[in-house]
Amino acid sequence: MTHQVHAFEPPERFVAGTVGPPGERTFFLQARGGGRLVSVALEKVQVSLLAEKLEELLTEAQRRFGVQLPEAVASVGDNDPLDTPVDEEFRVGTLGLAFDVDTATVVIEAIAAGEAEAEVELGGDEDEDDDEDDEEPDEDLDRLRVRLTPEATREFIERARRVVNAGRPPCPLCGQPLDPAGHLCPRHNGYHR
């Protein structure tokens, strides 16, 4: 089966966004450029970790390679909704990050979830001999590859953090998300809060 590589080097727009009301949101990474629009679904925790790891990558690139980083974005920046139609190309299983020293750009690669990942999540038993076959499980999987400048990366990080934090507010006692109808707080012995 052939795989697709959706490459945007650089994109006109690359953002994290959601579809749906808080508590039922589906998270997406969306890239637009050259008349193409690609949206890939992922989990909230993946968006949060992506923002965190991109910040670490920029800091490390500055430390090791002397890359000039832009100041933290003070303005709101791109706060527009996702472009429509939001058609999911695939669900992200793996995220890869790299810094290209030659072009001083950040490379983000979102790789589709494959059958091997489903087996690992289900706790499938694998023999020692099968580890050799798992060296490159991502070769035949669809992927989204985006190349961003440090400035565009900083804007992506700020928007991703806003999107993650825009969900349901946490319970002040237990930290679990509050539903509009309240929730059963374990710190109140199951009484509605």
Mean pLDDT of 118-132: 43
High-pLDDT (> 70) share of the chain, % = 82
The reported pLDDT for the residue numbered 175 is 79
Q: How confident is the model at residue 124 (pLDDT cuts 50, 70, 90)?
A: very low
Mean pLDDT of the chain: 84
**Model confidence, pTM:** 0.80
Assess whether pLDDT exceeds 70 at residue 129. no
Task: Output the six-digit token pair for 4.
Answer: 């697709």
pLDDT score for 2: 74
pLDDT tens per residue, range 31-66: 999 999 999 999 999 999 999 999 999 999 999 998
Query: Is 70 exceeded by the pLDDT of residue 126?
Result: no
User: What local confidence, expressed as pLDDT, does residue 157 receive?
Assistant: 95
- Which pLDDT belongs to residue 100? 95
pLDDT given for residue 123 in this prediction: 41
Radius of gyration over every alpha carbon of the chain, rounded to an integer in angstroms: 19
Place of tokens 């990474």: 29
Q: What percent of the chain has pLDDT over 90?
A: 60
CB contact burial 108-125 (16+ within 10 A = b; e otherwise) = bbbbbbbebbeeeeeeee
CB 163 within 8 A of CB 17: yes
Q: What is the mean pLDDT of residues 150-168?
A: 92
Segment 65-121, tens digit of pLDDT: 988 887 766 666 788 999 999 999 999 999 999 999 999 999 999 999 986 544 434
Q: Is 11 helix (H, G, I), strand (E, B) or coil?
A: coil
Which pLDDT does position 23 carry in this prediction?
A: 83
List the one residue out of 44, 146, 29, 34 whose CA is nearest residue 88.
29
